[in-house]
Structure 1
Amino acid sequence: MAGEVRVTAGVAKVLAAFLEDPAADRYGLDLMKATDMPSGTLYPILARLRDAGWVRAEWEQPDPDASRPARRYYRLTPEGVVVAREGVAELYQKLGIATGGRGRRVAPRPSVNPGPA
């Protein structure tokens, strides 16, 4: 079922959010906040990543005392971690964005102007 997903800027944002803690389960609202994406953009990306085998999704066990519906949790698969790191790094390289490794963006250092000599 594994396949290819083109790593666009939107896909890279989602993958970078997962790479902040690759072993963590993330749910939709959490990812929406982390990526600043609306649900109509995020969920199709998650579906493509799931179909490609890069992300797995599982429903939490419902809590009868919970005041909210059950959440669907997403996590990178081992293959997903590898391709996420490669894909995000490749896209950032093309865009000229430095990373501090593991898919995190690094803010550019301010240039130092020594002033008149």
Structure 2
Amino acid sequence: MTEKAERAEARSEPLRITRSFLDVVEAFLDAGAEELHGYAIIKTTGLGGPTVYKILERMAGMGWITARWGEQTEGPSKPRRRYYKLTSIGMQQARELIAERRSEKPARQAFRPAFGGGHL
């Protein structure tokens, strides 16, 4: 999809901006051009799975992210991962949103245990 087509499909702003939405957007900005899978976003943000996946669905509908299925390589008992990446328009709008809503970014913890173990 061309950038012009992305721009035409993307909404200019999310309908509702929550702390959780901003946390997921920041996770994408922190990842730069890298793809993220849902579980990585859950670990990074500390949010629950249903919350993260609902936000990812909203972002995809806005044209901010693209998604693709990964290959099944880890055995039959593990589901395939879905990978997400910011579009160029999504990147631009995400930066603007974070600059507007979180001008002073709090220091993010370097270590966030996935299952509550370890130190904070």
TM beyond 0.5:
yes
Name stretches of at least 5 consecutive residues in structure 1 with no aligned partner.
Answer: 100-104, 108-117
Identical aligned pairs, as a percentage? 36
Partner amino acid for 1:2? A
- 1:38 matched to 2:48: yes
Quote how far apart the aligned CAs of 1:89 are: 1.2
**Distance in 1 of aligned mates of 2:71 and 2:91:** 25
Quote how far apart the aligned CAs of 1:67 are: 5.2
**Distance in 1 of aligned mates of 2:45 and 2:101:** 16
Q: How does 1:18-57 map to 2 (within 5 A)?
A: 18-57=28-67
Under a length normalisation based on structure 1, what TM-score does the superposition of the two structures give?
Answer: 0.74
The CA RMSD over aligned residues, in Å, is 1.9
CA contact (8 A) 2:10 2:89 kept: no
Aligned residues: 98
- Alignment equivalent of 1:59, drawn from 69, 73, 87: 69
Name stretches of at least 5 consecutive residues in structure 2 with no aligned partner.
Answer: 1-8, 109-120
Quote how far apart the aligned CAs of 1:65 are: 4.5
